[in-house]
Structure 1
Amino acid sequence: MSSPAPIKFTDGTAYERFMSPWSRSAGTLFLDWLARGSGLAWADVGCGNGAFTELILAKSAPASVCAVDPSDGQIATARQKFSTKPVELSIGDAMALPYDANRFDVAVMALALFFVPDARKGASELVRITKPRGVVASYTWDIVRGGSPTQPLWEEMDGLGKPALRPPSADVSRFEALKRLWAELGLRDVETRELVVQRTFADFEDYWISMVVSSPSGPLGRLSNAESEELKRRLQARLPASATGEITVHAFATAIKGRKAA
Structure 2
Amino acid sequence: MTMSKGEQPIRFDDGAAYERGMGIWSQLVANEFLDWLALPHGKRWIDVGCGNGAFTESLISRCMPHETQAIDQSEDQLDFARKRKAVGSAVFQQADAMALPFDDDRFDAAVMALVIFFVPNPAGGVAEMTRVVRPGGLVAAYAWDIAGGGLPFEPIRSELARMGVKLPMPPQAEVSGLKALQRVWAASGLESVETRVISVQRIFGNFDEFWSTSMLIGGLAETVAAMASSRAELLRWRVRTLMRTNEVGQIVCDAKANTVRGLVPM
Q: With structure 2 as the length reference, what TM-score do the two structures score?
A: 0.91
Is 1:102 paired with 2:105? yes
Partner residue, 2:123: 120
Is 1:253 paired with 2:257? yes
Question: What displacement does 1:40 show?
Answer: 0.9
Tell whether the 8 Å contact from 2:61 to 2:86 is kept in structure 1 after alignment. no
Question: What displacement does 1:223 show?
Answer: 2.6
User: Which is worse superposed, 144-153 or 236-245?
Assistant: 236-245
Pick aligned residue for 2:159 from 137, 156, 170: 156
Pick aligned residue for 2:225 from 221, 226, 251: 221
Tell whether the 8 Å contact from 1:7 to 1:115 is kept in structure 2 after alignment. no
Partner residue, 1:50: 53
CA distance in 1 between partners of 2:249 and 2:34 (Å)? 32
Is 1:93 paired with 2:96? yes
Question: What displacement does 1:75 show?
Answer: 0.9
Aligned CA distance change for structure 1 residues 90 and 83 (closer, same or farther; 3 Å): farther
CA distance in 2 between partners of 1:147 and 1:103 (Å)? 34
The alignment partner of 2:165 has SS state of coil
Is 1:15 paired with 2:3? no
Instruction: Give ranges in structure 2 of 5+ residues lacking alignment.
Output: none
Tell whether the 8 Å contact from 2:57 to 2:87 is kept in structure 1 after alignment. no
The alignment partner of 2:199 has SS state of strand
Amino acid at match of 1:133: G
CA distance in 2 between partners of 1:60 and 1:203 (Å)? 34
Superposed CA deviations along residues 68-97 of structure 1, whole A, max 9, x for unmatched, are 112122111111116972111112221122
How many residues get paired?
A: 259
Tell whether the 8 Å contact from 2:31 to 2:58 is kept in structure 1 after alignment. yes
Superposed CA deviations along residues 205-237 of structure 1, whole A, max 9, x for unmatched, are 11011112x222233332333332222112111
Question: What displacement does 1:185 show?
Answer: 0.8
The alignment partner of 1:14 has SS state of helix
Question: What displacement does 1:182 show?
Answer: 1.1
CA distance in 1 between partners of 2:29 and 2:140 (Å)? 14
Amino acid at match of 1:175: L
Correspondence 1:1-262 to 2 at 5 A:
8-81=11-84, 85-212=88-215, 214-217=216-219, 218=221, 219-262=223-266
Tell whether the 8 Å contact from 1:105 to 1:134 is kept in structure 2 after alignment. yes
The alignment partner of 2:147 has SS state of helix
The alignment partner of 2:83 has SS state of helix
Amino acid at match of 1:190: V
Question: What displacement does 1:243 show?
Answer: 4.4
The alignment partner of 1:145 has SS state of coil
CA distance in 1 between partners of 2:156 and 2:179 (Å)? 26
Tell whether the 8 Å contact from 1:194 to 1:255 is kept in structure 2 after alignment. yes
Question: What displacement does 1:255 show?
Answer: 0.8
CA distance in 2 between partners of 1:77 and 1:223 (Å)? 32
Tell whether the 8 Å contact from 1:200 to 1:246 is kept in structure 2 after alignment. yes
CA distance in 2 between partners of 1:95 and 1:82 (Å)? 29
